[in-house]
Each structure stands twice: as C-alpha cells, then as structure tokens.
Amino acid sequence: MRSLLVSAAVVLFAACASTPAPAPPAVAAEPGRVYEFSEVSVKPQLINRATVARALEQNYSGALRDAGAKGTVHLRSVVGTDGQTSSIVVTRTTNSQFNAPAIAVMRVMRFSPATVGGVAVPVRIDLPVTFGPTP
C-alpha cells in the first residue's frame, strides 16, 4: 500500500504560533464583523491535528488513491468564536474530484479562536488541502 501525502496547511498555523508577529495597535472587537486573518491579534490555531489526519486519510478514496490521482483544493472558510468552520467554499482547485473530500476535511477542523483586543472573533481563513500518493 502506498503512503499518502496529505496536508492542510498545518504548517501555516504552526508558523503563526512559533513566529511572534509585531503587536497590532490595541483595538476593540466589532460585534458581528468577520475579520480577515491579517487583522486579528491572535491567530486561530488548529487544535485537532490527529482528527484532521484521519479525515484526510478517510477522504482520499480508494479509487483515486489506486489511480494515483492527486490534487490541491484551496478553501476559504470562517472560523467562528467556537473554533468551528463554516461558510466553506472552494476558491481554486487542481482536481475537482477532490473538492467534496477537501470540504469534508475542513468540516472536522477545530481551532482555538482568533482574538482582537482579547475578545474572540470570527475570522476568514484560506487553506489548501492536498491529496496525493507519495513516491
């Protein structure tokens, strides 16, 4: 059985956690607003990596895996104050056969909430989800 190469931009969130960003000016969170990733003081962090890895494996169908099919689906989503994803849309794809599986993976992702001025806020994120066999 071939190994599976899958990623969900976990590196992006790990990098955000390990690289201190300059502190933005203190501002109060605006109720009802969905913030852009670059606007939040504290970035959302993926908190269920093992579950996401299982979802990636389960959603890479046997037929696609056996055919050696690969693809990257770029998704846009909102991470709510509860850490759950919503409003998931495909923004770009290299193989449309992976669109539904990538969305299914995004649905199981859970994040620590983003904050502005110490208050949890919804934030828009863009993530690539990649499926493919490893050599």
Distance, CA of 61 to CA of 54 (rounded, Å): 13
Q: Which residue's structure tokens are 């976990």?
A: 10
Distance, CA of 104 to CA of 32 (rounded, Å): 26
Could you report how far apart the first and last alpha carbons of the chain are, in Å?
Answer: 12
Distance, CA of 21 to CA of 42 (rounded, Å): 9
Residue 134 has what pLDDT?
64
Distance, CA of 91 to CA of 15 (rounded, Å): 23
Map out the domains of the chain with their CATH numbers: 4-19+36-133 (3.30.2420.10)
Residue 132 has what pLDDT?
86
Tally Cβ neighbours within 10 Å of residue 18. 7
Residue 72 has what pLDDT?
96
Residue 25 has what pLDDT?
52
**What are the 10-residue block averages of pLDDT along the chain, 135 residues in total?**
43 43 62 93 96 93 90 97 97 96 97 95 96 77
26, 24, 42: which is closest to 121 by C-alpha? 42
DSSP track, 12-61? HHHHHHHSPPPPPPP-PPPTTPPEEGGG-SB---B--HHHHHHHHHHHS-
Residue 119 has what pLDDT?
94
Residue 62 has what pLDDT?
87
Q: Which residue's structure tokens are 């933005």?
A: 24
